[in-house]
Amino acid sequence: MRVSLIPLFLLLLPLIEIAGFVVVGRQIGVLPTLGLTIATGIAGGMLMRYQGFSVLARIRAEIEAGRDPSRTLAHGVMILVAGVLLLIPGFVTDIVGILLFVPPIRDLGWRFIKRRVNFSADFGRMGGFPRDGRREKTIDLDEDDYTKGPDPRSPWRQIGDD
């Protein structure tokens, strides 16, 4: 039977964060500690917005070029998690959040995820875009759904009929 450590971690995280506030508060004082907490929250929101939009643009470029965007997508998720960690008050979550904004750390995380998850898709054809950039029209009909001539039972008239 596999025991999950997540509930234990969620119970211990507030205690670790409180201990961090006490240690930092003793070293720099209460007001600077509160100011630092607010500043990391604002910085997390700004970094998440700036880097998040750039990751979305890179994901789109990867898909349009027909390449696998899974690494870029994983980086985007890690940036989102980093921003959320910076928004949560506390120094331990802030340190982890700041580390996740560093690309080499995200690459380590990507290598860890890549070994455990199977990513497979034909990204060259995703969204109906061929590799040369032309858009194709896709009509998915059964044989009996389409005829070249007008349907006399149709309530719609053809263009040019009056």
Q: Domains of the chain: which residue ranges?
A: 15-117
**The token pair that represents 77 in the structure block:** 């998720």
Inter-residue contact 82 to 44 (CB < 8 Å): yes
> Residues in the chain with pLDDT < 70?
1-2, 118-136, 146-147, 157-162
> What pLDDT does residue 27 have?
94
Query: pLDDT value at position 73?
Result: 85
Specify the pLDDT at position 33: 93
Write down the pLDDT at residue 22.
93
Question: pLDDT of 67-102, one tens digit each?
Answer: 888 888 888 888 888 988 988 889 999 999 999 888
Nearest alpha-carbon partner for 64 in 155, 108, 143, 129 = 129
**Residue 72, pLDDT score:** 85
The confidence score (pLDDT) of residue 32 equals: 94
User: Against a cut of 0.75, is the pTM above it?
Assistant: no
Model pLDDT, residue 128: 46
Residues contacting 76, CB < 8 A, separation 6+: 52, 55, 56, 59
Q: Give the dihedral of Cα atoms 123, 126, 132, 138; nearest 10 deg.
A: 150
Q: Which of 101, 113, 117 is nearest to 54 (CA)?
A: 101
Q: 106 with 75: CB under 8 angstroms?
A: yes
